[in-house]
Amino acid sequence: MTAKKAPARAAAPATAKSAAKAPARRGSAAKTPATARKAKAAPAKKAPAAPVPAAPADEPELVQLLTPEGVRVPHPEYDRWVEDITADELRGFYRDMVLTRRFDAEATSLQRQGELGLWPSLLGQEAAQIGSGRALRPDDYVFPTYREHGVAWCRGVDPTLLLGMFRGVNNGGWDPTSNNFHLYTIVIGSQALHATGYAMGIGLDGADSAVVAYFGDGASSQGDVAEAFTFSAVYNAPTLFFCQNNQWAISEPTERQTRVPLYQRARGYGFPGVRVDGNDVLAVLAVTRAALAHIRSGQGPMLVEAFTYRMGAHTTSDDPTRYRADDERQAWEAKDPIERLRAHLLAEGLADEAFFASLEEESEAMGRSVREAIRAMPDPDRLAIFENAYADGSSLVDEERAQFEEYQASFADVSAGEGE
């Protein structure tokens, strides 16, 4: 088995990497603010003996089945979870990732062209999403954050539906029950509780479906995620907490969110956690399948931390060059999830040039159809403002709708008059 140390962490900007430094800064600054800058540069040994535990010296092992070079490596625990995977299915995962990346790139371009107000790119996280998404059953239910375009793809959600809220024609825009894929949730971590409640409902129904709550390393700091861990644990709810640790919460590094590897948090709540190489689609599939089997057997929730990287900006409004170094991204590019599987497929003779060429064509066609679909996406009717505020209706909404219609009608009369 090859080394599975979490790589490239050292390439990250030296934020809170040293456990001893931070208290030293705070301690010195508090005493003599005027010399704070000087104290900052002082060696760590001058720090008061603060009772802060040192961060783990080494990153823990992560489950990996494909090396960054695409070499299949054995794993004593997880090999059995993917031994049934055929060459056809492997090519299918490759296709999923390529098309998802193409869709994402198209959406990013469309934002630059003014067709979308905002876009959160998933670039770099394709394996984490396809690997986990392809492990699910149709009766499982997914609660995403707002970057799970690849999971939506696996659930069979029409990709253009994902664009509506970013174009500004609605605030969600699809029926979550038609693909068991809930609406995107913008408030960080809120959906972990919805997932937990839904999972509690599955428990009450006596079903063996599972629920997946997707969230990021930043969300792990939110109280709602902690409460979701607690509720799922104490009710033994069939919840899979799937954390895509992409290393950055806008400009805040993972070190700002946690002092321990995220997957280890699960232990404190009384359920298992595991870290997987999030850029290895096969390993993510294996780990997610194993976690779902654990959950379906009535043993309660699990946490999977997919260790991955957001290769692009947080959203199209973000400028990552202000807070992270180029060499960090370059180091992660060497671990690109798509290149990794491509190398594996080629080395093992599982795909030929014709496959890649035809996929290239399909990918371009997808880009075109997304472009056409969004440009054809009409603005909603004005009265949509008043629709669906309440399921049972509301006299206040009725009153305001009537006022709005009257106001609009006053313009219609004027323009009709002018036209004649």
Partner 1 sequence: MAAEKLALAKAITESLRTAMENDPKVIVMGEDVGKLGGVFRVTDGLQKDFGERRVIDTPLAESGIVGTAIGLALRGYRPVVEIQFDGFVFPAYDQIVTQLAKMHARALGKIKLPVVVRIPYGGGIGAVEHHSESPEALFAHVAGLKVVSPSNASDAYWMMQQAIQSDDPVIFFEPKRRYWDRAEVERESIPGPLHKARVVREGTDVSLVAYGPMVKTCLEAAEAAAAEGKSVEVVDLRSMSPIDFDTVQATTEKTGRLVVVHEAPVFLGTGAEIAARITERSFYHLEAPVLRVGGYHVPYPPARLEDEYLPGLDRVLDAVDRSLAY
Name the minimum Å distance from CB 180 to partner 1: 10
**Do strands 252-253 and 273-277 pair parallel, antiparallel, or not at all (unpaired)?**
unpaired
Q: How far is the CB of 297 from partner 1 (least distance, A)?
A: 20
b/e string for 356-382 if b means 16 or more Cβ within 10 A?
beebeeebeebbeebbeebeeeeeeee
Binding string, residues 337-376; x marks residues near partner 1 by CB under 8 A:
----------------------------------------
- Residue 162 near partner 1 by CB under 8 A: no
Q: Is 270 in the site for partner 1 (CB under 8 A)?
A: no
Q: Find, among 265, 347, 288, the residue nearest to 127 by Cα.
A: 288
Shortest distance in whole angstroms from residue 250 CB to partner 1: 19
390 sits in the region (left: phi over 0; alpha: psi -120 to 50; else beta) called beta
Closest distance between partner 1 and the C-beta of residue 202, in Å? 7
190 touching partner 1, by CB under 8 A = yes
* Residue 173 binds partner 1 (CB under 8 A): yes
CB of 240 to partner 1, least distance (A): 14
Q: Minimum CB separation from partner 1 for residue 184, in Å? A: 9
Judged by CB, which is closer to partner 1: 27, or 197? Answer: 197
In the list 2, 113, 297, 388, the residue contacting partner 1 (rule: CB under 8 A) is 388
Task: Note whether 392 binds partner 1 by CB under 8 A.
Answer: yes
Tokens of 411: 């313009």
Q: Among 61-69, 290-298, 367-375, 385-393, which window interacts with partner 1 (CB under 8 A)? A: 385-393
Report if residue 413 touches partner 1, rule: CB under 8 A: no
DSSP track, 252-302: EEGGGT-SS-GGGHHHHHTS-EEEEETT-HHHHHHHHHHHHHHIIIII--E
Q: Is the distance from CB of 81 to CB of 286 less than 8 angstroms?
A: yes
d(CA 37, CA 160): 51
Residue from 75, 194, 324, 344 in contact with partner 1 (CB under 8 A):
194
In the bound complex, what is the minimum distance in angstroms from residue 348's beta carbon to partner 1?
42
Question: In this complex, which beta carbon is closest to partner 1, that of residue 94 or of residue 231?
Answer: 231
Quote the least distance from Cβ 181 to partner 1, whole Å.
Answer: 11
Q: Is 187 in the site for partner 1 (CB under 8 A)?
A: yes
408: which 2 tokens?
A: 């609009």
Nearer to partner 1, 27 or 176 (CB): 176
Q: What is the DSSP string of 134-150?
A: TT--TTSEEE--S--HH
Least CB distance to partner 1 at residue 404 (A): 14
Q: What are the Cα distances from residue 208, in Å, to 49, 292, 294, 343?
A: 51, 10, 11, 37
d(CA 288, CA 304): 7
Q: Based on CB atoms, which residue is closest to partner 1, 94 or 143?
A: 143
Q: Does 292 bind partner 1 (CB under 8 A)?
A: no
| 19 scored as a contact of partner 1 (CB under 8 A) | no
Query: How many residues sit close enough to partner 1 to count as binding (CB under 8 A)?
Result: 47
User: At closest approach, how far in Å is the CB of 289 from partner 1?
Assistant: 24
d(CA 245, CA 144): 14
Closest CA to 154 of 115, 175, 181, 122: 181
Conformational region of residue 313, where left means phi above 0, alpha means psi within -120 to 50, and beta covers everything else: beta
Cα 385 to Cα 388: distance, rounded to the nearest angstrom = 8
| Helix, strand, coil percent values for the chain (each to nearest 5) | 50, 10, 40
Instruction: Kindly state whether residue 321 participates in binding partner 1, applying the rule CB under 8 A.
Output: no
Residues in touch with partner 1 (CB under 8 A): 143, 170-178, 182-183, 185, 187, 190, 192-202, 204-205, 211, 223-224, 227-228, 230-231, 234, 387-392, 394-397, 399
